[in-house]
A and B are shown apart, each in its own frame.
Chain A
Amino acid sequence: MSLDRRKFFKVLGVTGITLAIGKEAGANQAIVSETEFSGVLFDAVRCKGCHGCEYDCADANNLPDPSESILKAEKTGMKRKTDESRRTVVNGYQTSKGEVFLKTQCMHCNEPACAAACLTQAMYKTKEGPVTWRTEKCMGCRYCMVSCPFDIPKFEYHSPNPKIQKCTMCYDRLKTGELPACVANCPNDALMFGKRRELIKEARKRIYEKPEIYVDQIYGEHEAGGTDWLYLSPVPFNELLLKTTIQNSSYPQLTKGFLYSVPSVFVLVPALLLGIQKATANIHKISESDDE
């Protein structure tokens, strides 16, 4: 894993440098394109809240029909969350610019907390970008759920053979060259699939061309160290209840210091203990002879 992480930082570093230097670093781009993450750009200005992506997601992943919960939410005005029976939901929010819709699913972080938390690598950041979950490795400890800042992994509490349910960016479809189900079928072009770098460029272009419509922020560009899903919105993101308390550095960074101290503790502490043990070995004998 240390190799994986190193590789990952390399990728991040190269991506960062490329972003900063831009077109001038032409030579680097060949390397970058090999390892670049794919992602999806969600444009809340274009989303009409048709919930079509929810049906497509359920179809593609053999999940129950979402219509009942959609109707119920429309009647009661309740905000829906993803759960073990749905990997994505679309909610409407009353904002300063009227009703705005927001799609929720896994953000596919560049450096995912869930994958760093997983002790069997069941949560796995693929080199293409999607964070996937692998049945045969998972032991169901739910540490990924504790760690995920976006509360995305969901657990089947009522099954004796429970699975973790979360969006996988339709990794199986991606491998056969298809688009993720939600992207492929969006009638309003609200979802756009592509390389993360391209998506950021496209998002900047949209903001630049219509500054009066878009908020000048791409949610996911820096959040949690950068995510592969990116959001554009006509209103500040806190009006859409997107988590704005998310830190900008990656979450696995938080445990790095502790984990890096482990090898040194393993070398230094036994040596120290052995030294003290040798130093005190005779104390008892001396004090005994003093007593006598």
Chain B
Amino acid sequence: MMSNIYSVKVDHGVTTTWKFFLSEIKPKGKLLTPFNIISIPIILLGLGIIVIRFWKGLGSVTNLTQEVPWGLWIGFDVVTGVAFAGGAYVICFMVYILNMQKYHSIVRITVLNGFLAYVFYAGALLLDLGRPWNVINPIIGNNFGTSSVLFLVAWHFLLYMIAQLIEFSPAIAEWLGARRAHKILSGMTIAAVIFGITLSILHQSGLGALFLMAKEKIHPLWYSEFIPLLFLVSSIFAGLSMIIFEGSISHKVFFSQISEKNHLAHKSIMHGLSKICTGTLFAYFFLQLLVFIHGKHWNMINSPYGYWFLFEMTGFVLMPMFLYFIGYRKNNILMIRIAAIITMLGVILNRLNVTVIGFRWYDHIRYVPSWMEIVVTLAVIFTEIWVFRWVINRMPVLRESPIWVKKINN
């Protein structure tokens, strides 16, 4: 008799959890929005291309060659995507380490954005691996290649994803109403933040260090022993510009979820970030200048690659720096948003210049990504946005935490 009642209770619990998850999986908004109409076919096409890729090999969908073994999927998806995800460690540093409470309201969305970027862009790495079933080898210890920068980067990706998941986990606990878990997970935040910042410093620079051994293959204007430092510094404004860009969009799209207080804070946050971006862009430009003078590459400026280098430095470093500065001084949000977009284009340009465009610059036959590589890249980005939207619509990322959280904390 007793056991009977017990089992009924359990059944009841399981079915409600099940129902909860089922109802949460269903889409909450309109299905036929312009974004969905564009993204769904591209995601489906991307999936089809991925099937061909695993069935017939990398060569059937990519334009990679024996000379250019890394293309768009590494140069853009992984190297550039991770730079854009740098905002998470910068904001965590500002809020949890420097105690700048002003930015507290954007921590969760930034960490979520960073976490998903790592999951999807590091996930895109699996598509590029020729033998992805061996991807666990460096993790399980089937020979540690500790002299490899890629070994470091791979481990850091994995550990940083865990750190970010811990940083974000209170939001998941609030969504599920798990009060005990919430308390434990919130207590782990500072440790995860400190660990996460350290990991980020090392793997943001590590992505640059990957290319140190390709000394003769990368155009001298983009190759120097300071690539790791340049990658690290540029990840700061890349990440912050991403926050401004993404924040401006989610501010509009998820308008109803944002509280009155945070609406008012939005402008002030953008304003504060523009100041930091101006500073780091200046530091970055100064570093580039030092590297350029130190490398004695004057003679290379008067060549197509030299013009291309100048174009990058003036158009995508100096110009957004001034725009950010003016936007900051005049408190002009539109100017700041334009600066953010130009900065992001500049980071894409810089990463592609190091990894793809400046790679084997002396060859006559150049690597140009195939349309299928581009479609898969777009599919990865769109899928990430889908998951991003799904999480924001369900978990307290932009909206306020439930009342019980405040009760626990007080």
Cβ of B209: which chain A residues have Cβ within 8 Å of it? 255, 258-259
Contact check, A119 vs B151: say whether CB atoms are below 8 A apart.
yes
* B188 contacts chain A at the CB level, 8 A cutoff: no
Q: Given A120-B138, A273-B194, do A265 and B145 touch, yes or no (CB 8 Å)?
A: no
Cβ of B129: which chain A residues have Cβ within 8 Å of it? 139-141
* A26 contacts chain B at the CB level, 8 A cutoff: no
Q: Given A160-B57, A273-B198, do A259 and B149 touch, yes or no (CB 8 Å)?
A: yes
Contact check, B66 vs A151: say whether CB atoms are below 8 A apart.
yes
* Chain A residue at smallest Cβ distance from B208: A258
B231 to chain A, nearest CB (A): 11
Compute how far the CA of A146 lies from the CA of B355 in the bound complex, rounded to whole angstroms: 10
* B49 contacts chain A at the CB level, 8 A cutoff: no
Contact check, B213 vs A119: say whether CB atoms are below 8 A apart.
no
Contact check, B57 vs A266: say whether CB atoms are below 8 A apart.
no
Q: Within B112-160, which residues are at the interface with A (CB < 8 Å)?
A: 128-132, 134-135, 137-138, 142-152, 154
* B314 contacts chain A at the CB level, 8 A cutoff: no
Contact check, A137 vs B130: say whether CB atoms are below 8 A apart.
no
Compute how far the CA of A162 lies from the CA of B212 in the bound complex, rounded to whole angstroms: 26
Contact check, A117 vs B148: say whether CB atoms are below 8 A apart.
yes
A288 to chain B, nearest CB (A): 9
Contact check, B205 vs A139: say whether CB atoms are below 8 A apart.
no
Cβ of B65: which chain A residues have Cβ within 8 Å of it? 157
* Chain B residue at smallest Cβ distance from A164: B130
* A246 contacts chain B at the CB level, 8 A cutoff: yes
* B24 contacts chain A at the CB level, 8 A cutoff: no
* A252 contacts chain B at the CB level, 8 A cutoff: yes
Q: Given A146-B69, A273-B197, A280-B98, do A121 and B143 touch, yes or no (CB 8 Å)?
A: yes
Cβ of A70: which chain B residues have Cβ within 8 Å of it? none
Q: Within A113-129, which residues are at the interface with B (CB < 8 Å)?
A: 113, 115-122
A63 to chain B, nearest CB (A): 15
Interface mask (B43-81 → A, CB under 8 Å = 1, otherwise 0): 000000000001111111010111101100000000000
Contact check, B69 vs A142: say whether CB atoms are below 8 A apart.
yes
Contact check, A280 vs B134: say whether CB atoms are below 8 A apart.
no
* Chain B residue at smallest Cβ distance from A116: B147
A144 to chain B, nearest CB (A): 9
Partner of B147, one of A81, A122, A259: A259
Contact check, A139 vs B206: say whether CB atoms are below 8 A apart.
no
Interface size on B (CB < 8 Å)? 61
Cβ of B165: which chain A residues have Cβ within 8 Å of it? none
Q: Given A139-B130, A258-B212, do A274 and B194 touch, yes or no (CB 8 Å)?
A: yes
Interface size on A (CB < 8 Å)? 62
Interface mask (A239-262 → B, CB under 8 Å = 1, otherwise 0): 000010111000110110111001
Compute how far the CA of A147 lies from the CA of B56 in the bound complex, rounded to whole angstroms: 26
* A143 contacts chain B at the CB level, 8 A cutoff: yes
Contact check, A120 vs B201: say whether CB atoms are below 8 A apart.
no
* A284 contacts chain B at the CB level, 8 A cutoff: yes
* Chain B residue at smallest Cβ distance from A247: B215
Interface mask (A214-258 → B, CB under 8 Å = 1, otherwise 0): 000000000000000000000000000001011100011011011
* B210 contacts chain A at the CB level, 8 A cutoff: yes
Partner of B58, one of A113, A139, A162, A266: A162
Compute how far the CA of A5 lies from the CA of B147 in the bound complex, rounded to whole angstroms: 8
* Chain A residue at smallest Cβ distance from B156: A262
Contact check, A266 vs B66: say whether CB atoms are below 8 A apart.
no
Interface mask (A82-107 → B, CB under 8 Å = 1, otherwise 0): 01100000000000000000000000
Cβ of A147: which chain B residues have Cβ within 8 Å of it? 213-214
B188 to chain A, nearest CB (A): 15
* Chain B residue at smallest Cβ distance from A82: B66
* B211 contacts chain A at the CB level, 8 A cutoff: yes
B83 to chain A, nearest CB (A): 17
B182 to chain A, nearest CB (A): 22
Partner of A140, one of B131, B149, B216: B131
Cβ of B69: which chain A residues have Cβ within 8 Å of it? 142, 145-146, 155
Cβ of B135: which chain A residues have Cβ within 8 Å of it? 139
Contact check, B60 vs A158: say whether CB atoms are below 8 A apart.
yes
Partner of A258, one of B55, B70, B130, B149: B149
Compute how far the CA of A159 lies from the CA of B58 in the bound complex, rounded to whole angstroms: 7
Interface mask (B309-330 → A, CB under 8 Å = 1, otherwise 0): 0000000000000000000000
* A20 contacts chain B at the CB level, 8 A cutoff: no
Q: Given A160-B55, A258-B205, do A120 and B134 touch, yes or no (CB 8 Å)?
A: yes
Q: Pick from A1, A83, A255 the residue with the most CB of B within 10 Å.
A: A255
* Chain A residue at smallest Cβ distance from B128: A141
Compute how far the CA of A43 lies from the CA of B130 in the bound complex, rounded to whole angstroms: 37
Q: Within A69-87, which residues are at the interface with B (CB < 8 Å)?
A: 81, 83-84
Partner of A160, one of B56, B64, B212: B56
Cβ of B214: which chain A residues have Cβ within 8 Å of it? 146-147
* Chain A residue at smallest Cβ distance from B153: A119
* B162 contacts chain A at the CB level, 8 A cutoff: no
Compute how far the CA of A262 lies from the CA of B155 in the bound complex, rounded to whole angstroms: 13
* B345 contacts chain A at the CB level, 8 A cutoff: no
* Chain A residue at smallest Cβ distance from B209: A258
* B228 contacts chain A at the CB level, 8 A cutoff: yes
* A270 contacts chain B at the CB level, 8 A cutoff: yes
12 more CB-based (< 8 A) A-B contacts, given A137-B143, A139-B134, A284-B99:
A2-B147, A116-B148, A117-B149, A119-B138, A138-B131, A139-B129, A143-B148, A155-B69, A266-B198, A273-B197, A280-B99, A281-B99
A sample of 8 inter-chain contacts (CB < 8 A) reads: A2-B146, A121-B145, A160-B54, A247-B216, A251-B213, A258-B228, A266-B202, A277-B97
| Nearest 5 Cβ contacts at the A-B interface | A140-B130, A157-B59, A140-B131, A119-B151, A142-B69
